[in-house]
Amino acid sequence: MTGLLIEAREEVWPLKEVFRISRGSRTEAQVVVVTVSDGEHVGHGEGVPIKRYKQSIASVLAQIESVKSVPDLDRHLVQKLLPAGAARNALDCALWDLETKISGKRVWELANIPIMSCSRRSVGDAHASHSEAATAREPTVDQVETSFTISLDTPEKMAAGAKAAATKPILKLKLGGENLDLSRVQAVHAGAPNARLLIDANESWSPEHYRKIVPAFQELAVELIEQPFPADADEVLETLDHPIPVCADESCHTTADVPRLKNRYEVINVKLDKTGGLTEALRLCERARESGFKLLIGCMVGTSLGMAPARLLASAAAWVDLDGPLLLARDREHALAYTNGRLGLPSSQLWG
């Protein structure tokens, strides 16, 4: 595309309450919003700088600034000019949005992803798509279940959070690698006995902790364990039993990471702030399914603008974790609709 005007700005969105994981806590979501205009149409995208990967608001803004004056900039060129991360994500998604505005089509039409009403998709069909290799462009349904995150805290406080979210069908629990982890999961299970449970350790476990705690989690019907070990020390997973599927998060950013995950993980967490946008995320989903991995579509803590592109990928996933806006004190206009733990498609006023 020629003659594009690219602008980027920081936005700060307060959270409802403190959000904690094993690496630290926060009280607000800091995001970068990119707008791309051809003079008539405007596209928007959102990225969340990730401290774990040495990203900051300043570094993301600087990366976007570095490509503002590149001639004939488009999504494909952006893949070559910027590394995978929040800056490329925000710009890539803004360019997708601009394409929809220019063409008058929805983003799933441009990506060749058909839409199916959830009422037309049987439970058997849904489970089949999770267990079998899917096509590169599997139909997306208009409603999907998403997990809701209970942040790391004492067992009592996590149980209270679970009771408050007891109507949510799936709860994702942040754990910290200490002896309290089992008590935390037991307390949440007691507080929300009907909820399905996912675990996210955020690289905090040791192999000894894994061996000790996983059998007990199996008895509590935990469905998934996400990133138990540091990304640079996850080879130990090749030597451990996996009675519960293990999901790669910090260990997988793009399609280039997929080959090394074999025999270590059963599931890959696809986040657009890791892949650097929807363009690479579509490739990663395809490569992961071809390689026999199931998918979890995840997110950083951000607004509906950041969730909307990832929502396009959700129907091909075994698990969806796109609850970022639910953790905010308020969301932006034309927000995604969350109803009884189910997430709808974005409106054209929001994105795509």
d(CA 6, CA 64): 8
Q: What's the pLDDT at 265? A: 98
Q: What's the pLDDT at 119? A: 38
Q: What's the pLDDT at 316? A: 84
Can you give the residue range of the structural domain that contains 323? 110-344
Residue 189 neighbours by CB distance under 10 Å: 21
Instruction: Identify the segments of the chain with pLDDT beneath 70.
Output: 1-2, 116-140
Total of domains in the chain:
2
Same domain flag for 155 and 231 = yes
Residue that is last in its domain, among 106, 134, 149: 106
In a domain, 349, yes or no: no
In a domain, 278, yes or no: yes
Exactly one of 101, 174, 274, 294 is catalytic; name it.
Answer: 174
Could you tell me the pTM of the whole model?
Answer: 0.92
In a domain, 213, yes or no: yes
In a domain, 256, yes or no: yes
Full DSSP string of 320-346 = E---GGGGBSS--TTPPPEETTEEEPP
Residue that is last in its domain, among 61, 85, 106: 106
Q: What's the pLDDT at 166? A: 85
Same domain flag for 77 and 156 = no
φ, ψ dihedrals at 167, nearest 5° = -80, -10
Q: Is 105 annotated as catalytic?
A: no
Same domain flag for 174 and 76 = no
In degrees to the nearest 10, what's the CA dihedral of 20, 21, 23, 29?
A: -60
In a domain, 207, yes or no: yes
Q: What's the pLDDT at 115? A: 72
Token representation of residue 4: 């594009």
Q: What's the pLDDT at 95? A: 98
In a domain, 350, yes or no: no
Q: Is the distance from CB of 231 to CB of 251 less than 8 angstroms?
A: yes
Sheet strand arrangement including 196-200: 148-150, 170-174, 196-200, 222-226, 246-248, 267-270, 294-297, 319-320
Exactly one of 101, 168, 172, 271 is catalytic; name it.
Answer: 271
Same domain flag for 94 and 119 = no
In a domain, 314, yes or no: yes
Distances (CA, A) of 307 to 222, 253, 300, 318: 25, 17, 9, 17
Same domain flag for 229 and 96 = no
Same domain flag for 55 and 136 = no
Same domain flag for 187 and 331 = yes
Token representation of residue 258: 């997929």
Residue that is last in its domain, among 72, 106, 140: 106
The enclosing domain of 89 has a CATH number of: 3.30.390.10
- Give tens-digit pLDDT for 236-264: 999 999 999 999 999 999 999 999 999 99
Same domain flag for 339 and 282 = yes
Same domain flag for 201 and 278 = yes
The enclosing domain of 245 has a CATH number of: 3.20.20.120
Q: Is 271 annotated as catalytic?
A: yes
Same domain flag for 87 and 207 = no
